[in-house]
Amino acid sequence: MIRFENVSKVYTRGARPALEDVSVDVQRGEFVFLVGASGSGKSTFLSLVLREHRPTRGRIYVAGRDVARLSSWRVPKLRRELGVVFQDFRLLQNKTVYENVAFALKVIGKPRSVVRDAVPEILDMVGLSGKEKRMPTELSGGEQQRAAIARAIVNRPQILLADEPTGNLDPTTSLGIMRLLDRINSTGTTVVMATHDDEIVNEMRRRVVELSDGVVVRDEASGVYGERESILPEVGRSTVLDTPARGVRRLSAIRRPGHEPARAFTHGEA
Amino acid sequence: MRFQFVAGEVAAGLRRNTTMVVAVVLVTFVSLTFVGAAALLQTQIGKLKDDWYDLVQVSVFLCPTGSMMPTCASGEATERQIDAVRDIIDTELADEVEAVYLETKADAYDAFTERYPNGYQGTQLTEDDMQASLRLELADPEQFAVVSDVLTGRDGVELVEDQRAVFEPLFRTLNVATLLAAGLAGVMLLAAVLLITTTIRLSAVSRRKETEIMRLVGASNLFVQLPFLLEGAIAAVTGALLACLGLWLAVRFLVTDWLERSVDWVAYVDSGDVLAVAPFLVLVAVALAAVSSVVTLNRYTRI
């Protein structure tokens, strides 16, 4: 369904490539997690599938089309086979939930009757029936993401791309979104999801493709998120950290003849 | 569905950018009024010239019946007199005169009915009211004096007229006015293009989110850009229609109602001429909007 053949992408000449010699084959109906640190190339991967950019080298096939050689005027047709959801939902704030989902059909010229049938059905599927008339600001984060997912799949795309769809959500809400994506996947839609959420990846046990600096470093079926890099480098005792700070209690003072004994320093005194 | 959607988007866009849209309407209105004025001035010049004007420089009017000129004492110019005049032209004026045309009374009547289909100042004239003439094309238009000296006073010749002397200063004035109007129109048109460009850009930026979603769900390029194109076109065409209305009112009240009553021997531009110019003005407006849109949209709503 999606095939990358030795794909490299360089945004500005001379810069480090965002993707380097990436070969990945995603089958129809698969669920794939794309993991890796920020800047590892996950978003570039998705934008190449969407044909927002062309690869610098290599071939990309999406839904049977050679994306790199696709002429601009055929791109809309490709994108109708793709649904996309983002971390920040990207709902139109001046439209209701219903209008947001209907918008995706209207702008590709679907007849009114199709819109009237498809939108309530899809809103029901994502669990938003009864909230058609709400504005996005009146929805919780999870509900907003459900509306965004409804918009992405209302045209029944073959592939759903999700760029950190749970990035703005709490763990419980994230789980609900994952169940929804899983259900969409079970209807035969191929799902590719870029994520940082190790709990979700570890729990779902689906195929994991890990990118690091634009290179595929791991591609395993039923994988886990893998080792996280620790936040701070591990260090032993360092002179800086072990140097006593000011305000340390001094227990004894040097006595000098003819002088009052100095008062012991106590915590907080100079 | 498509039509309704696009119409809704256009209406929303026009509402959101009202001040800019009004500015576009006014600038196209003013610029196209100048374009129209230039066109009408040229039409007026065309109306003042008769069929011979561009072809010949000298008209030799032959004696009609009842002329008081001494050379016409024998009445209407006879064939022999005309032949004699032509002989003189062919011999004495061979160097000066390039070509000679004879306009008979019948020819003159045809030309007259074509120019004044409803009669002249309320009177229907007949062929007998017309005057035959010889029309001379000169090798050098400055040589009128020589030709006039030779032909004036010949039998059968009533009057030798350098027709350029009458109209040339007026035409020069009208041409200068045309140039002025066209120049101003050019500047204003440039302003219009820049303004339409800015308006479309503002509109595109304010609807960035919508267009981004449209791109992602696979709306065609045309569908994404059409609302912006139409916004620019509607504003520009409104300006053009206002310009047509302004010109029509100006012609109606300044020319037809006022000038024509004061100086009534001249054929003036009328409302019909404004109507003839109008489609051209609307076309210019559409072209303006199209050029501005192409320049802007490829930058701001690229797939």
Chain A residues with CB under 8 Å of a chain B CB are: 50, 72-73, 75-82, 84, 90, 92, 103-104, 106-112, 115, 151, 155
The side-by-side arrangement of strands in the sheet containing B133-138 is B97-103, B133-138, B58-62, B157-162
pLDDT tens column, B166-176: 777 888 888 89
Candidates A76, A103, A112; nearest CB to B218: A76
Six token digits for residue B133: 């003439």
Cβ atoms of residues B241 and B282 within 8 Å: yes
Query: Is residue A105 situated within a structural domain?
Result: yes
The number of domains in chain A is 1
CA distance B165 to B100: 20
Residue A249 clears pLDDT 70, i.e. is over it? no
Residue A237 clears pLDDT 60, i.e. is over it? no
Predicted local distance difference test score (pLDDT) of residue B236: 92
Cβ atoms of residues A37 and A210 within 8 Å: no
Inter-chain CB proximity B218 and A82 less than 8 Å: yes
What number is the average pLDDT over the span A154-173? Answer: 93
Inter-chain CB proximity B216 and A115 less than 8 Å: no
* B210 vs A contacts (CB less than 8 Å): 92, 103
Six token digits for residue B185: 């129109």
Predicted local distance difference test score (pLDDT) of residue A132: 93
The parts of chain B modelled with pLDDT lower than 70 are 1, 50-56, 119-122, 264-265, 300-303
Residues 6 or more apart whose CB falls under 8 angstroms from that of B57 comprise B136, B137, B138, B141, B144, B162, B163, B164
- Listed by start position, the domains of chain B span 2-50+168-300, 58-164
Inter-chain CB proximity A79 and B220 less than 8 Å: no
Helix (H) or strand (E) holding A101: helix A97-106
The neighbour count for residue B201, using CB atoms within 10 Å, is 18
Residue A158 clears pLDDT 50, i.e. is over it? yes
SS3 A19: strand
Cα dist. A4→A26, A85, B111 in Å?
A: 9, 21, 80
Predicted local distance difference test score (pLDDT) of residue B260: 77
- Taking the whole predicted model, whether its pTM rises above 0.95 is answered as no
CA distance B237 to B240: 5
User: Could you tell me the residue range of the domain that residue A146 belongs to?
Assistant: 89-156
Query: Is residue A130 situated within a structural domain?
Result: yes
- Count Cα atoms within 13 angstroms, Cβ side, for B234: 19
Query: Is residue A61 situated within a structural domain?
Result: no
CATH topology (fold) of B58-164: Alpha-Beta Plaits (3.30.70)
Residues 6 or more apart whose CB falls under 8 angstroms from that of B145 comprise none
Query: Is residue A150 situated within a structural domain?
Result: yes
Higher pLDDT pick, B37 / A253: B37
Cβ atoms of residues A52 and B215 within 8 Å: no
B15 Cβ under 8 Å from any chain A Cβ: no
Query: Is residue A29 situated within a structural domain?
Result: no
Supply the ipTM of this predicted assembly: 0.77
